[in-house]
Amino acid sequence: MDIKNIKKEFPIFSQKINGKPLVYLDSANSSQKPKLVIDKISNFYETEFSNVGRSVHTLAVKATNRFEATRDKVQKYLNAKHREEIIFTKSATESINLVASSFGKKHINKGDEILITELEHHSNYVPWHYLRSEKGAIIKFAPVNEDGDVEINSIKNLITDKTKIIAITHISNVTGAILPITKIVDLAKEQNIPVLIDGTQGAPHCNIDMQKIDCDFYAISCHKMYGPNGLGILYMKKKWVDDLPPYQGGGGMINEVKKEDITFAEENTKFEAGTMQTAEVVSFAESLNFIEKLGINNIASHENEILEYGLEKLRKNNSIKIIGNPKSRGSVLCFTLKDIHPHDIATILDEDGVAIRAGHHCCQILHDKLGINATARASIGVYNDKEDIDKLSDAIKNCQKVFQI
C-alpha cells in the first residue's frame, strides 16, 4: 500500500457529491473506512458471528477468540504492559465518563480539584462537571495562550495539594496544538497526580506508547482511526484497573451475585458490562492492520505535508484568518473568513464536493476565549492530497464570489 495512492482503498471516494469528486476534509470528526475494515464487518457477521464469552459452541469460540485477539493487538499497538489494561467502550466519550465516574466515586471529595484546560472538548469537561455538581469538586482550567497552545507552566501553576486528577487533550481538535503530554505526565508524577489523556485526536496521528507516555488513562475513539462506529478504547493503568470500582452493571462483569450482595469480576472484565460490540471490535483489528501497514509515522508525516501545504495556501488569501499557531500541530486547520459565517462556508463548499465542519466543534469554552462563536475546520486524513487542498482553496474563493466579496 502506498499513501500517495491510498484513496482507492476507501470505497467512499467512488461517490460523487453534487456531481463532483468528494474532497473529504472532516476526518477529525470521523474518518472514512478502508474496504478491508468494511469487508471484515460483513465477513464476520456472515461467517463467524456469535455473542462472545458466554457460550461454548464453535461460533462463540471463534468470535471470542477474535475478540480477545483484538485486545491483544490493541495492547501491542499501544505498547501497554498488560492486556487487562485495554478496556473496550462505546466511544472516547464513554471512556472518559467511565474514568470520571469510577475514579470520582472513590477518589473525589468536596473541595478536591480537577485540572483541565481551556482546549478541552466537551467530552473531557462535562463528565468532570458532574463531579463538580455532585461532589462539590472544583474544576480549574489551564489557559490557552495566543497561539492556541497550553504551556506546561500554566498547568504547573494550577497544581495544588488539592489536585486529584489532570485531564488533558493530546491534540486540540480546534487549534491543532499537540500538547507536551509526556512532560505533563512527568510533572504530575512528581506530585503523584494521575493523568487522563483524551487521545481522540492524538491516537489517529501519533505513535502512542503507553509505557513511554506513562499516563494513567488514555481515551480513544475507533471511528476516528479508520475503524467502525460505536467503539472506543480506554487504556487504564493496571494499578487503576485493580483499584477502581466497576462502571455500568450487567452481564459478564460480575463474580458472584446474591440477593444481599454482589461481587465483581476482576481486570478489564469488570468494566465491560453487557453484550459487547463484537463485530466492531473484530473489524477494528483490520483498522490497526491498515495503520501498521502504512506506519503511523508515515501517516503523520504525510498528513503534516498536506497540512503545511494547506496552511501556506490559505495564508495567501487575505480574507482568511487561521486559528492558532501552535508549536507543533496535528492534522487540524481551523479558520474564519472575513464577513462570511462558517456555516455559510460549509454549505457553499459542499456544493463543490468539499466536506468541512463548521461550528464550535464541541469546544465552547475555547470559542468563548477566542471571542467567536464558530470556526470552519478542514481536517486531514491519510487519504487527503494536495489536490484536495487546491480544491478547498478554490471553493473558498467561490464562497467569496457567492457573497460578492
Partner 1 sequence: MELKELYQEIILDHGKNPRNKGKCEGFTNDAKAHNPLCGDKVHIYLKLNKDKQIENLSFEGEGCAISLASASILTETVKGKDLSFIKKISEDFIKMIKNKTKITINSLTADQITTIASLSGVQEFPMRVKCATMAWHTLLSAIEKK
Handedness of CA 358, 361, 364, 369 (dihedral sign): negative
Q: Which does 111 bind (CB under 5 to 8 A by kind): ligand PLP, partner 1, its own copies, none?
A: none
Other beta carbons less than 10 A from residue 152's beta carbon: 15
User: Judged by CB under 6 A, which stretch of 91-99, 208-216, 367-375, 390-398 contacts ligand PLP?
Assistant: 91-99
* Secondary structure (3-state) at 50: coil
The Cα–Cα gap between 238 and 235 comes to: 9
Give the residue from 103, 381, 147 showing the smallest Cα distance to 240.
103
Which parts of 243-262 interact with ligand PLP (CB under 6 A)? 250-251
Site string for its own copies, 253-292 (x = CB under 8 A): xx-xxxx-xx----------xxxxxxxx------------
Site string for its own copies, 364-403 (x = CB under 8 A): xx--x-----------------------------------
Task: Give the amino acid at 97.
Answer: N
Residue 359: beta bridge partners?
Answer: 375
- Concerning whether 362 is annotated as a catalytic residue, the answer is yes
Least spacing, CB of residue 173 vs its own copies, in Å: 10
Give the residue from 41, 40, 58 showing the smallest Cα distance to 50.
58
Other beta carbons less than 10 A from residue 326's beta carbon: 21
Number of residues that bind its own copies (CB under 8 A): 93
The Cα–Cα gap between 101 and 96 comes to: 8
Closer Cβ to ligand PLP, 91 or 393, answer by number: 91
Which parts of 32-91 interact with partner 1 (CB under 8 A)? 53-56, 60-61, 64-65
Q: Does 359 bind partner 1 (CB under 8 A)?
A: yes
In the structure grid, which three cell numbers stand for residue 182, read together?
A: 509526556
Q: Does 331 bind ligand PLP (CB under 6 A)?
A: no
Q: Does 110 bind its own copies (CB under 8 A)?
A: no
The Cα–Cα gap between 60 and 309 comes to: 49
Stretch (H or E) spanning 365: helix 364-370
Q: Does 275 bind ligand PLP (CB under 6 A)?
A: yes
The Cα–Cα gap between 204 and 291 comes to: 9
Q: What residues line the site for ligand PLP (CB under 6 A)?
A: 28, 91-93, 121, 123-124, 169, 173, 198, 200-201, 221, 250-251, 274-275, 362
Q: What residues line the site for partner 1 (CB under 8 A)?
A: 53-56, 60-61, 64-65, 252, 254-256, 265, 339-344, 347-348, 351, 358-360, 364, 367, 373-374, 402-404
List active site positions: 362
